[in-house]
Amino acid sequence: MRKKVIFGNWKMNGTNAAVEEFLSVVDAQANNTEVVAGLGLPFTALSTGLKLSKNVKIAAQNVHFEKNGAFTGEISIEMLKELGVEFVIIGHSERREMFGETDNTVNLKAKAILAANMTPLVCCGETLETKEAGKTVSFVNNQIEKAYAGISKEDAIKTIIAYEPIWAIGTGKTATSQDAEVVCKAIRENLAKIYDQATADQISIQYGGSVKPDNIKELMSMPNIDGALVGGASLLSKDYLALVNYNK
């Protein structure tokens, strides 16, 4: 059975004080045995997050693929590992659109993260223009093929995919659960082509884009949606708990 994986992504929000306050309320109640609950935090709050969480898995929101060197402002895998970080979000559309992330750097990052026995959470998703041109599935499949190039099936099963249509992020426009299911199913079929069905069946695929307590149940009821990556709603402790305990 695939794991259900529900992560918040705090993006550029969260001082250490805010993370401390949040986790002191949330961590004990994020103890859903059927869900891996997580939180993507800014680099500066990772230590605090790791120290104060037992149930909530803490994720970084980016990493550089090189081991070290002249990359001003970047953070290496070794640096995250030293803190105890196990999960890293890569290829978020905000990083692709604003900070030059490409399919190639996503691939390099995925390989480097897996080599360090950490878990990449690989984001993909189309723009409104691509959706309106009816090219969502081919666009997303291409992103996935490039992200997984050269990655073995043994490593692929350790990854998580987040399908986040860009037009649904922070807009209040959630994809309908049926539309999200169509794309997540297509991603799984593509993984079965790249690897095999057994491998594809083990990879958890999240949906992201305006997920909220009032729509998560419906999304999670879809056969190929195994979790959620949640921005705005994950900032409020009440909503975060409603999300990670959606089935209670």
Q: Using CB atoms, what's the residue nearest to ligand 13P?
A: 231
Query: Should residue 219 be labelled a site residue for ligand 13P when binding is judged by CB under 6 A?
Result: no
Candidates 53, 227, 231, 244: give the one binding ligand 13P (CB under 6 A): 231
Cα 178 from Cα 43, distance rounded (Å): 35
Name the nearest CA neighbour of 192 among 147, 225, 144. Answer: 144
Using CB under 6 A as the binding rule, whether residue 210 contacts ligand 13P is answered as: yes
164 binds ligand 13P (CB under 6 A): yes
Is the distance from CB of 6 to CB of 36 less than 8 angstroms?
Answer: yes
Q: Which is nearer to ligand 13P, 9 or 224 (CB)?
A: 9
Question: Alpha carbon of 218 to those of 33, 63, 240: distances in Å?
Answer: 20, 33, 16
Per CB under 6 A, does 227 bind ligand 13P? no
Listed in sequence order, the residues at least 6 apart from 244 whose beta carbon sits closer than 8 Å to its beta carbon are: 6, 30, 32, 35, 37
- The interaxial angle of helices 103-115 and 136-147, nearest 10 deg, is 40
Q: Which one of 75, 88, 121, 230 is in contact with ligand 13P (CB under 6 A)?
A: 230
Choice from 14, 42, 209, 227 touching ligand 13P (CB under 6 A): 209
C-beta of 141 vs 232, nearer to ligand 13P: 232
By the criterion CB under 6 A, which residues form the site for ligand 13P? 9, 92, 164, 169-170, 208-211, 229-233
